[in-house]
Structure formats: structure tokens, C-alpha cells
Structure 1
Amino acid sequence: MRKGCGNIAVFMTLFSCCALLPNDVLAQDELLLATSGGQAGNDLALLFSEEELFISASQSTQTLGKAPAIATVISDKQLREMGARNIFDALVTIPGFGYSYLNNISTESDIEVRGIKSRMEKVLLMIDGHRVNSPFFGSFNHLYDEFPIEQIKRIEVIRGPGSALYGANAFVGVINIIMKKIGDVEGVTLKGGGGNNQRSHANLLGALGDNGAGMVLSYDRLDTNGSRRFVPADAAGARGYTNFWRTTDTAYLNGEYGKFSFSGLYLDKQRGTPLAITNFIDPGTTRTHNKQAYGSLTYKDRIGGVDVETNIALDQFWWDANWYIGFPGFTTGHPLLKNQTWSGEVKARFSPFEHHDMTVGVVQDFQRQYDVVHTVNGVDVTSAFNHNQSAKRKVFATYLQDEWTAFNALSVTAGIRYDHYNDLGNTLNPRFAVVWTASDMVDIKLLFGSAFRAPSFLEMYEINNPSAVGNPNLKPEKMQTIEAGITWKINPNYQLSSNLFHNLFRDQIVQGSPLSINKSGATIWGVETELKSDWREHLYGYLNYAWYHSRDKLTQSVLPDVPRQRFKAGINAGCFDDLININTGLRWDGQRPRAVGDTRAPAASTTLVDFTVSSTKLVRNLELSLKAHNLFDANVSDPTVVAAGIPAGYPRPGRTIMAEASYSLK
């Protein structure tokens, strides 16, 4: 605890020094902001919402402050300067977001949003509006947890429901990664680096052509042995070390020709796991090999005053896991399967009346699970002892949204979406938002929305597993959310925002024991507050705090394994006429309560500090960086249930240090 407090003290000293800059420096920066127009002004004010374009909340271009959602935008410049290795290094800086292992196995990771812990199936991840959650898991954690940042233009994040526009999985949040297109990339950029844990990274990003006829291509390769953390006792009482090695290949293509555009992505990830799936020390046998690819073709046109967009896409997902089991007569298990999704969407945007912008759309998905195979101890047991089943799902959806600008200071957004699943039935999800610009300095938002999450093929069709059995009679999870938010632009350099929300969570899907079932759900109250500062182009910072009060509706107990409080802070400072850039961030999570019946003390609070120093001006077209994640090598473990047999919890990675160089050929 003393070490954590010391880390916070060091961090806050640096933050305070920058915050107390002389007034003449701040005045000079205000002049710079005032005189920078067009795109230069947008790039300069990276943190203040009025300068950020945002499309995910309504599928129309808006400034973040006017968007009908509680949302955050993280730009490519911020990603570089904070030293983000992947999207999750950035997401964990957002109020209310967290990242951890599951509480019963370490083979998967969780995302925590607003007091709810999930296997990432309750958050929708999109790339340029294309959803990538797999039908089997319903989530994206097996492939996208280390998605590289070099080809990203910005990340748009909605905290709260998004099913009224995006359907399933847009439950507690929506993440939309906006990739770089023609006009965002000049020439070719080569990047390479290495660090401890035998970590190596290489990236190639390039562009050909120009707007209207051109393409952007990128390729990324990551290799690491992972941080070997000591485990004092596994489920059998044995000592050992984690074995979380990873190898990831990511390729991306975006092309434009006239009114047509195409985007394609391919991910290939092999990795170990901190512990075996049975919570034994892994002898090096465990390996998961997951792949995902998609191609998406879009046509946009304006016909008679109506903006029309049509899209057709094909997704392919491969899951190949070689588990070390370690039981007598059952040493290894090797389940495999494939998912395929064909999807199509047609949407139109028009203004039927003055001050009204309407969006209407139709969506059709065809999902298929096939080639489900299971091998045990090298013997094919598919016909007698398979792990899951072949499955098909058809989804039809239609949505309607009206954005009404009642007058300059008031806008009202109302929408509704209808989804029909051939295996689950129908669901209807409305949304309503009022955004009031009370003054030039204050924006107020009142929001209501409902959301749903369809059960995954894993939850419905898992078989022959003594610890988890699927249930084809599961109902979708449901959520209703009421939110109120206020943003106050204190002066040109500071902005304070705060929001209050209430979630009513119903029909929660609980996997295991062993049958997957729907239970009553939970209620969650929460407050999120953030202070942002922007003094000049390379001098900005943030402080945010989140507090949650959650209750299981059946037991009235606190939801386990998620901290009730989170505090985060970060600062970026350009030094020596911006020759050197320094960025540091801190994340503090409060104690995490245990589940009902677990008499152990709550899991301890944690403090993590990241630090990056970089330069883009030492040599023309060359960028150098040195990154340290978990700078003070904090010993952090994620809480486990008693049945997991790991009383100390799953250890997170230790200090990671990496040096990188990037050179642009323009």
C-alpha cells in the first residue's frame, strides 16, 4: 500500500508542476488556440469535445459535445504520445473502463464497464462501423485485445447502451475504431522495436493513389514471451510461472474508387495462457490459435436529396485451442470450430422536414457455426464427445432515428430498432436523448436507452463439459439505462464533465454450475467525473474518477470482482521546444469485493503507472520512443472464485519496457 501511495505522490507532483505553469505561458497558448483554424485547430485541441468529430452516437457527423451519448474520442496523436501498444492501453484511461482476467480461468480476459464485468460480450467492437464480435463467444477478446494502433485514426467510445442503432452486444458500451484512409497517410512508414520478455514489434503502413482512387495498406507483427509471473500455488498446490507468450499478425487494406470503398482485415494470433484451463501450471502445452478475416464492400451515393449507403460483408472466424488438462486419462483437449457471417445493410439519411434529420436502415445477417471438431489425447472424439454443435442463426433488423434541432441550443434525438432472431424471437430497443446548450460554456444531456445481448453459441450449445453446459432456451440479456450529463468549459484551458447513470440489468446469463441460465440481474448506480486540460499542442492532461453502487437483484449483494472506485490521471508535456515529449499515466482501482459466501478479504486496491518518452524532431521523418508499462513493476493479481483453486489470484504482467523507431518515406 505504501508503494502504491508513493507512486501516486510522484505522479501527482509531475501533474501539479505542469498545471501551475505561469499565466503568460497559458495566455500564449490561448492565443495559439484562438488563431488556429480549420483542421489545424482540430488537431490542436485534442481533448476538448467541441473540436472532435464523432459519428458513432447517431451515424451522422457531430462534435462530441453535441452527440446524444456519454462518449470519448481518442485520437491517433494521443495514442502515439501515450505510448499505447494496443487499443486496451488507451481504453483503460477512459472513466469506468477496466481490464482483467476472468475470475475462474486465466485463458480469457474481461472488460469492465460501469461496474459490470464481462467476457467482452457486453461491449460491441466495430471497425469503421463493421461489427467484429464473433457468434461463438459473442465477444472479441481472443483477437482484438492487442489490436495495434498504427493504422488507427481515432477510437470512438460510447459508455452506455447502443442497441437502438447497432443491435446485439451494444449493451454497456460501443467501441468504434476509425481506421486511416486515403488522405490520412502519406507515403510509407516503417516501424520496429524490441523490449524485455523477448518482445519484438514491426509495422508497415503505406498509401497509394489519392482521394477517389487509392488504397491504404498495413501489416503488423508482434512476438513476445510474455511476463513470467510467479504463482505460489496452482489448483493442485504446485508452484510455477505463467506462460503467456503471444504471436500476432495483423493485415489491413482500405481502398476507394469513386463511390465504392472496400475494407479488409486479417488477424492471426497464437498464444499461451497464464495458467492451463484447469488452473494448473502449464508445462508449455497450451496453445490457442485464433484467426479472423473480413471483407466489406460499401457504396455511397446521394439520390434526390437522400444519402444512401449499402454494404455487404463476409466474416470468417477460426477457433483452434490446444488445452493442457492434466487429469489422469485426459491430458490434452483440442477443440476446433469455424464461424461464418454474411451481412448486408441498406441505410438512408434525409431531411423530411425543416430541422429534422432522419436515418432509416435495414440489416440482414446469416451466421453459421460449422466444422466443430474435438480431439482428446490425440484421438478424434467428435462423434461421441464433441465440445459444441453446428448452428445457424438468421437476424433481421430495421431501425429508425430522428434528430430534431428544436432551436440552436436544443436538439432531440429519438430512435428505435427492431431485431428478429430465428432462434430467440424479437426484441425492440428505443432511445431518447435531449442535448441542451445552456450557454457557451455549459452543455447538458438527458439520455434514455435500452439494450440487449443475444446469447452466444458457446452459451447455448456447449456440451460434454462438466463445468459448463449450454442452454438453447436462454433468453437475451436486457438493459435499461437513464443518464444525465453536464459539461462545463471552465476557461479555454480547462473542461469539467460529470454524468450520473442508473442501469437496470435483467435476465443476466450466468454460465456454469454447470447449466447456463438466466438470473434476475442487477441494478447499478454510478457517477463519472473528468477534468481535462489543454494548455497547448503538446501540453495537456486529465483527471477522472468513477464510483459505482451495484446490487444483485436476487441476493442484494454487491457485484463481485469489480472495484467500486476508479481514479485515473495522465499528463503529456513537450519539453525543450517540443524536442522531447513525455507522457505518464496512472490508474488506481479500489478494493474488489468477493462473491457471496467467499469469506476472504476483498482483493487489494491496485496502482499502475505507465511512462513514455518520445521525439519526432531529433531527425526529420524519424520518431523515437521508449515505453514503460507498469513502470514500478507492481505485483497485481485479479481475484478468483474459491472453486478456481488459485487463492492468490491470477497475476497480471509485470513491468514491460520497449524501445521503438519509426521512419516515414514521404
Structure 2
Amino acid sequence: MHRCDLLLSEHLGRWVVVRNMIAAGCLALSLPAIAAGDDALWDIPLEELGQIRVVSIASGTETPLDKAAAVTSVISADDIAAIGATDLDQVLETVPGLHVNHSDQAFSPKYIFRGITSSNNPQALMLINGIPVTTMMYGNRGNAWGGMPVKAIKRIEVIRGPGSALYGADAYSGVINIITKGPEDIGDETIGGRVGSFDTRGGWLEAASAVGDVGIGLILEYETTEGWRRTIESDAQTSLDQQFGTSASLAPGPVNTGVDQLDTRLELTGDQWIFRAGLQNRDNLGTGPGIAQALDPQGQFSSRRVNADFSYQWPDLTDGLDAEARISYFNITQEPENDIVLYPPGAFGGAFPNGLIGSPGYKEQQLRLDVSAVYLAIRNHRIHTGVGSFWADLYEVTEKKNFNPDLSPKGAVVDVSDDPNEVWMPEEDRVNYYAFLQDEWQFAQNWQLVSGVRFDDYSDFGSTVNPRAALIWATTDTMTTKLLYGRAFRAPSLNELYVANNPVALGNTELDAETIDTFELAFSHQLDAQTFYGLNVFYYEIEDLITAVAVPGQVSQEYRNSGERRGHGAEFELGYRPMESVEVSANYAYQESTDKRSDAAVGEAPNHQVYGRLEWQATPVWLIATQANWVGEQDRVSGDSRAPVDNYTTVSFTVRATDFLSDWSFSLSAHNVFDADLRAPSPFAEPVPSIPGDFPMPGREIVAELQYRF
């Protein structure tokens, strides 16, 4: 019997519910019963593991959840449909210990794991099919993110905690791996449409075919929205008006959150190879609260993310040795579509009659080559090793502006892209070489030790070594206990290293990588065939945190390794299935993160979160689901005298009819039904915050979808 997350039926031949051992999703699926004499499933073949829920993100290869050397959540396409989600952020908010906040940069999402947060949120690594989609410019997904639709997603795997021993840079506070659908996942061709609040309209197409032995899968998604135009009462220009005796501010006024999305995913599969290509195109992306937190109702960016990767596998290359090679290319652009108005006309006492205008842009390309192998010929060991290289090139930086580096006016908007004394960022590149080794050793029937280490060498800030260890104990037939340790690092972004000619912040080429050491104790119990629960506690310490520090001179701040933090907390999850047609899942997360030097709360993240979902398959056609999400109050950073951001509760409903007419399906979702006033904390600034009332988030949203399968 699987000693961690399965409670098998005593009646052979019957199907039973299988629960996630450690995952936050509290998901269920079916598994054929296995003979009672099979008291250890750690050695069953991978093809049999396909019948149970597996995760690849924790150890780099497909592994049963009870063997995963991390605290991991898995969210399937069915879960996404039950949530009624249309965007990735709505899905990730259901994961315990992960809160989705929003940045001052066009409201780009911040994925805050266990209270670890910063303006650009480079501490959370996002992968698509195991490949990072991180821009080296900011170390995040890009500030012109513009959301991510969900129709192409097969499942989402989330690590809460470090992952640098496998994934390298930025797998720091957590890792999000998005697995997209391949030809085998699409099945019938599907076309669908969507309408919703905020003047939202969209559609999608899923199609699959085969040419000989080559499978072909294609998914297209398009959506346009005006966004939630909630009001900001006071902005950065409001305080400047008080200083200069002017009335230039556009506040009160609505945030600028419209966007046009086009996403395309293509996958070709052969016997031993996979080719994937993708396009994430964003046009007319609004500037949120304004790039300088002064309302800019007309400012818009465009962004294009193009990716392609090819992998080839050699199963049984020699006895007990499987190998894989992969090459991938990623290109990301961020370009202003019009003049970006940092401060409105009349700003700074009338010195800028047309407004303070600064329109930055950049283009970046990345190339990765990875070779990895799994060796199984040593008894009770699975050795996973790999080497690789990564090259990133910031090959075009642009800027148009009407001010000098000292903020004096130029009089007209000037293209300074080719002037090294004026442009905001020099064109730089980065090279990284790495090697990793990991051993999964089952040293006793009920015990497994996973240990590993990764070495990374960077051309611009040096090298780093990151180890990990996980002791996994199948405590009883239905209980599992884990003791985990991991070290991770966050690479300085190119912006933090090299930004120049910026009156706000200056880069620092002497920066070291941020580091974090995390300790975790995790426990899970499949109480019976209907009930699962799990609990994990964690503690971490952060060194060399990169922050902008006030310095004397013309530039007010410089990036330095000046921060140290510690944090601790716990996450609890519960899954209960009282009958075949009803499923309940819930989780609770607590965290406290403090500055080690001042012992003050880090702030800008909730200390408590509670989430619950009820799904009822009323008939074979109709599914009814409701969910509630309570987010506790969020403390302020040190020095910010504002009251904490209020707690809030959102309640959502989804009704879904599958094949209510032949080949037709329909869903209706209502998010934030009671129109709660959601706020994301705005950054603190002296003498007063630029937006004192925080960032308003979406109110009530209704979405209807109609789909036809042909």
C-alpha cells in the first residue's frame, strides 16, 4: 500500500478516490485497486504512475506526490473550470500560502509566497512547461504582463518554498510551473466565446490532429477588456499640487486597466521528441495607476512574448539510463504605444505644460540549452543530473522623454535611445552555466532521502551553490511525514545592476545574489476514503536582500544588498468527499515575516488567509460550485503610519452545464458577488504615499461562456 496519500479499497477490482499527499488542491481521481500484498508503491513503473496524480516540479522528473521533495500543489484543468477562472491569477489565489497582490507597474501581478514580497516580485519563478519565462530586465514575468488566460492549461504545479537546487535563479520563495495541453489532451475540436463585465469579450479555439506519427495540437485565445475602472481619490500629483499650489492632478479618476490579449500555443509530438511554440501578445495595455502613480488615462504599452522549445528523449540509452536534451528560445518586448505621461500637464508648478513624459521600452532575447539524465541502475537510487547554459541579451533599449536626468525640462519630447548619457538603461547581456546532481535514495522500506546540489556561474555577478535535502517517512499506511531543507538564490536583475540616468534609482554592479535558507516539516493523512488533511510548518532566513537605499546626491536611491529577513508560518489543508457527487476543499495559511535588523513586520502581505470551495455534481450535466476567500489585513512597511489594509472576503459562484445540448456546453460565473472593496497595498513614500488609499482591485464580475465541440 502507498504509505502517504492513498487509502486503497479493501475490495479488489473497485475504483477508489485518491488524494493529494501534500498538495494544497485537495484533489481527487480514481485508481484501480492493487493487491493487498503490494505494500510499497515507490518502485512501480512510470506508466503505472500515470494512473495516479504525479508531480514533476519537485524533483525534476515525474514523481508520485508522496515522494515529492517539496510542499507542492497540483491544480488540474477540471479544477480551473470548477473555479470559473478565466485568468491565471484567479487560480493561484486558491493555493495556501500564496497571495496575489498587484504592483504599481501597470498592476502587474505579484505572486507572494509566505509573505516574501517586493515591488517587482522577482522572488517567484514562473515556468511554462519547465522553462522560465523570466525577463532578465526586472527578474519577473515583465511589468507589461497583461494577464494569462487558462484554456491552454493542462495543469499547474506549485512549489511553496525554494527550488534553486533544480531550477536555479529566482526559484526562491516559490515556483509556478504551467503545463500546457498537448494533442493528446485536446481530444475533440472546440470553439467557444465569452462575454463579461468590464466590457469583456473573447473567444478560443482548440484543435488536434495527426500526420503519420506526429501529433499536432493548436490552441488560440483572444480577449479584449476595458478593465475595472475603479476610482483613485488621490495620487502622486495630488501631493505635488499641495506643494506648488496647483490643480494638475487627474484624481479622483479611474485606473487604466484595459488590455487586448492574443495567446497561441502550438505543440508537435513524436515518439521521442516534442516541439512547442507560443505567442503571448498584449496590446493597448493600460498603465494601471500610472507609471509614477499619477493617473495617466491614455498611456498604453504593448508586449510580445514569443517562445519555442524542442526536446528529444533517449529512453534506455543504456541499461538504466534515460537522457533528454532541450533547446529553447524566448523573446520578450515591452514598448510604449504612445507618450507615457508620468505626471499630468501642469506638473511641477507648470514647468511641464504638456506633462512630464517618459516612454521607456526594451527588447530581450534568451537562449537555453539543457542536457539531463536519470540513472536507475544503482539499487534503491534514482540519480538525476544535468548541465546547461543560458544566454540573455538586452538588445534594444529605447526611451523618449521631455526631461533631463536632473528632472529639468527639455521643452520637447526627444528620442534619447542612442544617447548613453540620457537613455534609462544600457544594453547588456548575461551568460549562465550550471550543473546539478540529485539522488533519491530509498534506504529503507518506509524511508527515502532526497539530496541534491546545483552550481551556477554568472558572467555579471559570480557563482552560487544551492543544496537541498528531504527526508520522507511513510509513517503509516495512510500518513506521511517530511523534513525538508533548501537553499535558493535570486539573481540581481539587469535593472538593479545597470539602470542609469534615472532620477529615482541607480544600478549597482557590485550586487551579490539574494539567498534564502528554508526549513519545513510537513505531515499528511488520508484519514479515510473520503477525508484528507495535511499540515506543514516552515521557517526561513533571507540574506543580502536587494533594496533601494537612500543615498546623497542627484540620484535619490541606489540598489544594495542591505536587507535581512526571517519568516515563519504554517499551512493547513483539508479535502472531504461526503458523497460521490459532492466535494469540499479548504485551506488556511499563516505567515509572519520580519526585518531581522529592526524586528519590524515586512508588511504588504496578509498574515492570515482562508479559502474554501464546495463542488456539487447535481446531475451528469450540471455542476454547481461556490468558493469563498478571506484575506486578512495587511500590515504596512516600517515607517508607514497608515492603518493596515483592511481584510476582505470574496464569494464566487459557478454553474456549468456540459453537453446540455448535443456537443454544447455553458457556464456562468460570478466573482466577488457581494462587491467587496478589495485593495492592494500601495508603496510607501516620503513624506506621504503617492496613492494613500491603496490600489483598488476589481469589484463584482459576471462572466458567461458558451462552447461547441465538433
Is 1:338 the counterpart of 2:363? The answer is yes
Please list, as runs of the form range in 1=range in 2, the aligned pairs for 1:505-654 lying within 5 A after superposition: 505-511=542-548, 513=550, 514-535=557-578, 538-575=581-618, 577-643=619-685, 644-654=689-699
Does structure 2 conserve the Cα–Cα contact (< 8 Å) formed by 1:339 and 1:370?
Answer: yes
CA distance in 1, matches of 2:12, 2:84: 25
Offset, 1:337: 1.2
Partner of residue 243, structure 2: none
CA distance in 2, matches of 1:33, 1:317: 53
The code of the aligned residue for 2:388 comes to V
Does structure 1 conserve the Cα–Cα contact (< 8 Å) formed by 2:255 and 2:297?
Answer: no
Offset, 1:512: 6.1
Is 1:369 the counterpart of 2:384? The answer is no
CA distance in 1, matches of 2:328, 2:580: 39
Please list, as runs of the form range in 1=range in 2, the aligned pairs for 1:187-206 lying within 5 A after superposition: 187-206=188-207
- CA 1:94–1:31 in structure 2 vs 1: closer, same or farther (change >3 Å)? farther
Partner of residue 425, structure 1: 462
Offset, 1:210: 7.4
Is 1:656 the counterpart of 2:692? The answer is no
Is 1:278 the counterpart of 2:292? The answer is yes
Partner of residue 405, structure 2: none
CA distance in 2, matches of 1:80, 1:33: 32
The code of the aligned residue for 1:218 comes to I
Alignment deviations for residues 445-489 of structure 1 (CA, whole Å, 9 cap, x no partner) = 110000001011111121122222221211111000010000011
Please list, as runs of the form range in 1=range in 2, the aligned pairs for 1:152-301 lying within 5 A after superposition: 152-209=153-210, 212-237=213-238, 238-270=251-283, 271-284=285-298, 286-301=299-314
Does structure 2 conserve the Cα–Cα contact (< 8 Å) formed by 1:48 and 1:532?
Answer: no
Does structure 2 conserve the Cα–Cα contact (< 8 Å) formed by 1:143 and 1:291?
Answer: no
Offset, 1:187: 2.8
Partner of residue 497, structure 1: 534
CA distance in 2, matches of 1:59, 1:376: 46
Does structure 2 conserve the Cα–Cα contact (< 8 Å) formed by 1:561 and 1:594?
Answer: yes
Is the partner of 2:707 in helix, strand or coil?
strand
Alignment deviations for residues 365-389 of structure 1 (CA, whole Å, 9 cap, x no partner) = 1111111111115421221410111
Partner of residue 327, structure 2: 312
Is the partner of 2:90 in helix, strand or coil?
helix
Offset, 1:45: 8.8
CA distance in 2, matches of 1:343, 1:634: 44
Is 1:117 the counterpart of 2:117? The answer is yes
Alignment deviations for residues 506-527 of structure 1 (CA, whole Å, 9 cap, x no partner) = 1111136421111132000111
Does structure 2 conserve the Cα–Cα contact (< 8 Å) formed by 1:615 and 1:624?
Answer: yes
CA distance in 1, matches of 2:415, 2:112: 38
- Tell me which moved more, 290-299 or 638-647: 638-647
Alignment deviations for residues 345-401 of structure 1 (CA, whole Å, 9 cap, x no partner) = 011111241011111100101111111111115421221410111111110000001
Does structure 2 conserve the Cα–Cα contact (< 8 Å) formed by 1:58 and 1:68?
Answer: yes
Offset, 1:38: 11
Does structure 1 conserve the Cα–Cα contact (< 8 Å) formed by 2:133 and 2:141?
Answer: yes
CA distance in 1, matches of 2:467, 2:146: 30
Is the partner of 1:236 in helix, strand or coil?
helix
Does structure 2 conserve the Cα–Cα contact (< 8 Å) formed by 1:48 and 1:495?
Answer: no
- CA 1:618–1:30 in structure 2 vs 1: closer, same or farther (change >3 Å)? farther
CA distance in 1, matches of 2:212, 2:614: 36
Partner of residue 409, structure 1: 446
The code of the aligned residue for 1:527 comes to A
Does structure 2 conserve the Cα–Cα contact (< 8 Å) formed by 1:352 and 1:358?
Answer: no
Is the partner of 2:185 in helix, strand or coil?
coil
CA distance in 1, matches of 2:200, 2:60: 39
Is the partner of 1:183 in helix, strand or coil?
helix
Alignment deviations for residues 226-251 of structure 1 (CA, whole Å, 9 cap, x no partner) = 11102222223331111210111111
Is the partner of 1:385 in helix, strand or coil?
coil
TM-score in terms of structure 1 length:
0.91
Is 1:464 the counterpart of 2:507? The answer is no
CA distance in 1, matches of 2:202, 2:9: 39
Aligned length: 633
Q: Percent identity between the aligned chains?
A: 30
Alignment deviations for residues 81-104 of structure 1 (CA, whole Å, 9 cap, x no partner) = 1111122111110101111123x5
CA distance in 1, matches of 2:114, 2:652: 23
- CA 1:487–1:212 in structure 2 vs 1: closer, same or farther (change >3 Å)? farther
Is the partner of 1:146 in helix, strand or coil?
coil
Partner of residue 485, structure 2: 448
Unpaired segments ≥5 residues, structure 1: 1-28
Offset, 1:67: 1.0
- CA 1:394–1:557 in structure 2 vs 1: closer, same or farther (change >3 Å)? same
Is the partner of 1:80 in helix, strand or coil?
helix
Does structure 2 conserve the Cα–Cα contact (< 8 Å) formed by 1:211 and 1:256?
Answer: no
Offset, 1:66: 2.2
The code of the aligned residue for 1:355 comes to N
Partner of residue 38, structure 2: none
The code of the aligned residue for 1:346 comes to V
CA distance in 2, matches of 1:62, 1:167: 20
Unpaired segments ≥5 residues, structure 2: 1-7, 32-51, 239-250, 403-412, 551-556
Does structure 2 conserve the Cα–Cα contact (< 8 Å) formed by 1:107 and 1:277?
Answer: no
The code of the aligned residue for 2:289 comes to L
Partner of residue 93, structure 1: 94
CA distance in 2, matches of 1:516, 1:375: 24
Is the partner of 1:506 in helix, strand or coil?
strand
Does structure 2 conserve the Cα–Cα contact (< 8 Å) formed by 1:182 and 1:210?
Answer: no
Alignment deviations for residues 53-106 of structure 1 (CA, whole Å, 9 cap, x no partner) = 11111122222122111000001111111111122111110101111123x555
Is the partner of 1:208 in helix, strand or coil?
strand
Does structure 2 conserve the Cα–Cα contact (< 8 Å) formed by 1:593 and 1:603?
Answer: yes
- CA 1:339–1:604 in structure 2 vs 1: closer, same or farther (change >3 Å)? same
Offset, 1:537: 5.6
TM-score in terms of structure 2 length:
0.85
Does structure 2 conserve the Cα–Cα contact (< 8 Å) formed by 1:590 and 1:606?
Answer: yes
The code of the aligned residue for 2:595 comes to D
CA distance in 2, matches of 1:288, 1:354: 56
Does structure 1 conserve the Cα–Cα contact (< 8 Å) formed by 2:15 and 2:30?
Answer: no
Offset, 1:422: 1.1
Is the partner of 1:165 in helix, strand or coil?
helix
CA distance in 2, matches of 1:395, 1:363: 8
The code of the aligned residue for 1:36 comes to W
Is the partner of 2:558 in helix, strand or coil?
coil
The code of the aligned residue for 2:15 comes to S
- CA 1:258–1:279 in structure 2 vs 1: closer, same or farther (change >3 Å)? same
CA distance in 2, matches of 1:307, 1:447: 27
Which residue of 365, 383, 391 maps to 1:358? Answer: 383
CA distance in 2, matches of 1:408, 1:615: 46
CA distance in 2, matches of 1:279, 1:143: 15
- Tell me which moved more, 179-188 or 647-656: 179-188
Offset, 1:208: 0.9
Does structure 2 conserve the Cα–Cα contact (< 8 Å) formed by 1:212 and 1:258?
Answer: yes
Partner of residue 14, structure 2: 35
